[in-house]
Amino acid sequence: MATKQSEDAFRDVSDESRSSGLMLRIRRFKPEEVFTWQLAKTLAMGQGLAGLICGTAISSQYLASNFHMNTPMLQSFFNYALLCVTYTTMLLCRTGDGNILQILKKRWWKYLLLGLVDVEANYTVVKAYQYTTLTSVQLLDCFVIPVLMILSWWFLKTRYNTVHYIAVGICLLGVGAMVGADLLAGRDQGSTSNILLGDGLVLLSASLYAVSNVCQEYTVKNLSRVEFLGMVGLFGTIISTVQMVILERNEVANIQWSWQVGLLFSAYALCMYALYSCMPIVVKLSSATAVNLSLLTTDLFSLFCGIFLFQYNFSGLYLVSLVGILIGFIAFNAVPIPTARTDTAASSSSSICEEGYSDDPNRQSTIPNDLRKWEAAVRITAEEEEQQGRGETEEGLEEEQRRRGNKRASRPSRSLGRGSGDVAVVAIIHNTKM
C-alpha cells in the first residue's frame, strides 16, 4: 500500500514537472528566434521552386489539351540536355579530383543509377495520369514525405523531433483540404481505366523522387552542386534519349511544329532547368524534406492559375489548404533538425571554397604547407622559451655560487640561440604571408 502511494506521489510530481516545464518553454518563447531571416529566405525560395513547377504544369497542360501531345520523355530530354551543356561542360573544364574523368572513374555507376532513378520518377508520374484520377495523384504523391524522412533517418542520420512529425501532419491535412476542395468543385479529372496501376505508378514515382532527393542532399552537402547537376545532366540525357527512341518515336515524328509548340516546349524546359539548378541551393540551406513540404503548395498555385486560364471554380478550402501547408512548413523549420556530424575532414574541405571544391592546385597544396610552417614556428618558440627558462635558472645558480665563494666557469650564453629562433619565426611568418 505504501509503495502504491509513493508511486502515485511520484507520478503526480512528474506530471507537475512536465506541466511546469511546458509553461516555462511557453514563457521563454521568443518569436524573433523563430521568424528569422533564414526562415523567410528558405520559405521564399521554396515557393519560388513551387512556382517553377507550376510553370511546367501549365505548359504541359497546354501541350496536352490544345495540341494533343503526350511526349513526357521529349520534354525531359530538353531539360537534361540543358543541364548537360551547362554543368557537364563546367566539369570538363575543371582540373584535379573535380574533373569529369576523375569523377567517372571513382563513382560513375552511382551517378548512372541516380540518373535512371530521376528519369523514371519524372516519367512514371506523367504516365500515372493515363490510368488514375487527379485526386489520387495529389493524395498519393504526398507519399514522398514519409519515404524521405525514413531514408534521411537511415542514410543521412537525421533525427526528427516531435514537432517535425506534427508539422508534417499539418501539411498533409492542408493537402487533404485541397483535395476536398477539388471534389466539391467537380475537378476529379483523369482516367479510371486502371486505377490500381495508376496508383501504383504514383507511389513508385514518389519513392523514386525520395531516393533522388536524398542522394541530392548528400551530394550537395558533401561534394558539389555542380558535380550533382553535371552527372545527372549527362546520364539523364543518355537515358532519356534511349527511352524516347524506344517509347515515343512515333509521337515525336507526328509533332506538328509551330511557334506556339516551340514556345511551350521552351517554357517547360527552362522552368525545369531553373528548378534543377536552384533546388540544390535550397536543399543545402535546409533539407530535402523541408523543400518537399514547401513544394506541396505547387498544386495550389496551379489551381489559382487555372482559375484565370482554364476557368476553374474557386473554393475557400484552397485558402485553408494554403495556410495549413505554410503553418506546417514554418513549424518544421522553426525547430533545428539534429543531424549526426559527418567526417570532419570532408566538412572542413567543403568549407574551403564554394561548392566544396577548389580548382586552384596551389591553394590545395599551400594549406598543409602553411600548417606545417606554423607548427614549426610554434615548436621553435616553445624550444626558445624552454631554453630561456634554463638560462635563467643557470644564471640564478651561478649567482648563488658566487655568493658562497664557489666560482665556476660560466656556461656559454644562449642569447644567440634565442636571437636565431626569433629570426626563424619571423622568416616563417613572412613566407606564410607570401
Distance CA 351, CA 345 (A): 10
Q: Are residues 395 and 427 in the same domain?
A: yes
Residue 16 in domain = no
Report which of 159, 427, 155, 148 is spatially closest to residue 294, judged by C-alpha positions: 148
| pLDDT at residue 418 is higher than 90 | no
Distance CA 230, CA 86 (A): 8
Total of domains in the chain? 2
Average pLDDT over residues 315-338: 83
Q: Are residues 265 and 398 in the same domain?
A: no
Distance CA 55, CA 64 (A): 14
Is the model more confident about 124 or about 345? Answer: 124
Average pLDDT over residues 181-192: 67
| pLDDT at residue 1 is higher than 60 | no
| pLDDT at residue 25 is higher than 60 | no
Q: What is the mean pLDDT of the chain?
A: 76
| Grid cell in block for residue 291 | 523543400
pLDDT for residue 352:
36
Q: Are residues 333 and 428 in the same domain?
A: no
pLDDT for residue 242:
95
Q: Are residues 203 and 94 in the same domain?
A: yes
Domain of 402?
361-433
Is the model more confident about 35 or about 394? Answer: 35
Q: Are residues 119 and 59 in the same domain?
A: yes
Q: Are residues 377 and 334 in the same domain?
A: no
- State what percent of residues in the chain have pLDDT above 90: 30
pLDDT for residue 371:
46
Residue 158's SS3 state is: strand
Q: Are residues 190 and 291 in the same domain?
A: yes
| pLDDT at residue 281 is higher than 60 | yes
pLDDT for residue 342:
42
Q: What is the DSSP string of 287-351?
A: -HHHHHHHGGGHHHHHHHHHHHHS-PPP-HHHHHHHHHHHHHHHHHHHSPPPB----HHHHHHHT
**For 88, which DSSP code?**
I
Q: Are residues 192 and 46 in the same domain?
A: yes
pLDDT for residue 428:
30
Q: Are residues 255 and 192 in the same domain?
A: yes
Q: Are residues 172 and 39 in the same domain?
A: yes
pLDDT for residue 356:
42
Residue 317 in domain = yes
| pLDDT at residue 312 is higher than 80 | no
Is the model more confident about 140 or about 387? Answer: 140
Q: How confident is the model at residue 6 (pLDDT cuts 50, 70, 90)?
A: low
pLDDT for residue 175:
87
pLDDT for residue 132:
80
pTM above 0.75, yes or no: no
Residue 419 in domain = yes
| pLDDT tens digits, 143-167 | 899 999 999 999 888 888 888 899 9
| pLDDT at residue 127 is higher than 50 | yes
- State what percent of residues in the chain have pLDDT above 70: 67
pLDDT for residue 209:
94
Residue 8 in domain = no
| pLDDT at residue 405 is higher than 60 | no
pLDDT for residue 400:
58
Tell me which of 309, 341, 373 is where a domain ends: 341
Tell me which of 307, 341, 375 is where a domain ends: 341
pLDDT for residue 191:
59
pLDDT for residue 333:
83
| pLDDT tens digits, 353-399 | 344 444 444 444 444 444 454 455 545 555 555 555 555 555 555 66
Distance CA 53, CA 302 (A): 9
Is the model more confident about 375 or about 170? Answer: 170
Residue 378 in domain = yes
pLDDT for residue 17:
56
pLDDT for residue 71:
87
pLDDT for residue 410:
41
- Where b means 16+ CB within 10 Å and e means fewer, 2-38 reads eeeeeeeeeeeeeeeeeeeeeeeeeeeeeeeeeeeee
| pLDDT at residue 190 is higher than 80 | no
Who contacts 273 (Cβ-Cβ below 8 Å, separation ≥6)? 79, 82, 83
Distance CA 198, CA 188 (A): 14
Q: Is 191 left (phi over 0), alpha (psi -120 to 50) or beta?
A: beta
Question: Cβ distance 223 to 94 under 8 Å?
Answer: no
pLDDT for residue 194:
75
Residue 63 CA from chain centroid, whole number: 32
| pLDDT tens digits, 46-84 | 899 999 998 988 888 888 878 888 888 999 999 999 999
Tell me which of 341, 373, 407 is where a domain ends: 341
Residue 263 in domain = yes
Residue 27 in domain = no
Q: Are residues 117 and 192 in the same domain?
A: yes
Report which of 176, 70, 69, 193 is spatially closest to residue 133, judged by C-alpha positions: 193
Average pLDDT over residues 31-41: 73
Q: What is the DSSP string of 220-284?
A: HHHT-HHHHHHHHHHHHHHHHHHHHHHHSHHHHHT----HHHHHHHHHHHHHHHHHHHHHHHHHH
Residue 224 in domain = yes
Q: Are residues 374 and 255 in the same domain?
A: no
